[in-house]
Amino acid sequence: MTISTGPPITAKTPAAEAPPKGNRLWAWLIFLMGALYFMLPLAATFYWSLRAEKGRFGFEAYRRLFADANFMPAFSESIVNAIAAIFLSLLIIVPTAYWVRLRMPRLRPVVEFITLLPFVIPAVVLVFGIIRLYSRPPLLLTATYDSSRVLLVCVYAALSFPYMFRSVDNGLRAIDVRALTEAAQSLGANWITILREVIFPNLRVATLSGALLTFAIVLGELTIALYMAQKTLGPYMANLTRSKVYEPSAMAIVAFAITWVAMGMIAYISRERKQP
Partner 1 sequence: MSKSSLYPDSRFADPAEGGAKRSPQLHIGNWLGVLPFFVFSGLFLIAPTLILAYRSFEGLNGGQTLDNYRLLTSPAVINSYGMSIRISLTTAILGGLFGFLIAWAVSLGGLPRPFRTTSTTFSGVASNFAGVPLAAAFVFTLGRVGVVTALFEVFGVNLYKSGFSLYSFTGLTLVYLFFQIPLMVLVMLPALDGLKRDWLEAAENLGATPGQYWRHVALPVLMPSILGTMILLFGNSFGAHATAYALTGGLFPLATLLIGQQISGDVLHNPGLGYAVAMGMVIIMAFSILIYSILQRRSERWLG
Stretch of 53-61, 62-70, 72-80, 253-261 lying at the interface with partner 1 (CB under 8 A): 253-261
Q: Kindly state whether residue 87 participates in binding partner 1, applying the rule CB under 8 A.
A: no
Q: How far apart are the first and last CA of the chain?
A: 36
Among 62, 71, 75, 161, binds partner 1 (CB under 8 A): 161
Q: Which long-range contacts (CB under 8 A, 24 or more apart) does 144-148 make?
A: 145/229, 145/230, 148/228, 148/229, 148/230
**Interface of this chain with partner 1, residues 219 to 238, rule: CB under 8 A:** 220-223, 226-227, 234, 237-238
**Interface of this chain with partner 1, residues 131 to 150, rule: CB under 8 A:** 132-133
Cβ contact 118:156 at 8 Å: no
Among 72, 116, 150, 174, binds partner 1 (CB under 8 A): 116
Q: Tell me the closest approach of the beta carbon of residue 37 to partner 1, in angstroms.
A: 8
- The DSSP symbol for 18 reads P
Among 19, 53, 144, 174, binds partner 1 (CB under 8 A): 19
Q: How many CB atoms lie within 10 A of CB 210?
A: 28
Among 67, 72, 80, 129, binds partner 1 (CB under 8 A): 129
CA distance 168 to 3: 18
Q: Kindly state whether residue 70 participates in binding partner 1, applying the rule CB under 8 A.
A: no
From the list 5, 11, 25, 3, the residue with the least C-alpha distance to 274 is 11
Q: Tell me the closest approach of the beta carbon of residue 106 to partner 1, in angstroms.
A: 11
